[in-house]
Amino acid sequence: VALAGIRGARVLLVEDNAAVRDALLQLLTMWGLSAHAVRTGEEASTALATDVFDAVLCDWRLPGERDGLAVLREARVRLPQLQLGLLITGEDTEMLPKAGQEFMVLRKPVRPLRLRALLQAHLR
């Protein structure tokens, strides 16, 4: 069911776990969002350099040099119109409160209703 008010919003999903990435991509598409998925921080940088997104949903732990926090910080710099930077994590780390001051944090396993509520609250 497409979500009123956010249909067509452009979302970058950064998730290295294929099963999680596919499930989230399916949800976002079902809700009427225009979603693009990548696997690594480096792929996210390329997408951010060449495209415009309203929201970036990013796993914290990514393969390669850059983690989700670095990706979201880059997104905020490159996309002044960014409406939602969301860090997705299954970890309990001492870094979490600090990250939560900068960006919204969503715990894994991702609950669809919680994700949908965040998207509806932040995208216009």
Q: Note the pLDDT tens digit of each residue in 3-47.
A: 777 889 999 999 999 999 999 999 999 999 999 999 999 999 999
Sheet holding 84-89, edge to edge: 34-38, 10-14, 55-59, 84-89, 104-107
Taking the C-alpha atoms of residue 22 and residue 121, their distance in angstroms, rounded to an integer, is 23
Give 2's pLDDT tier (boundaries 50, 70, 90).
low
Between 73 and 99, residue with greater pLDDT: 73
- Mean predicted confidence (pLDDT) in 91-114: 85
* Rounded Cα gap, residues 118 and 9, in angstroms: 13
Q: What is the pTM assigned to this prediction?
A: 0.94
Burial of 70 (0-12, 13-18, 19+ CB in 10 A): middle
Alpha carbon 3 to chain centroid, angstroms: 17
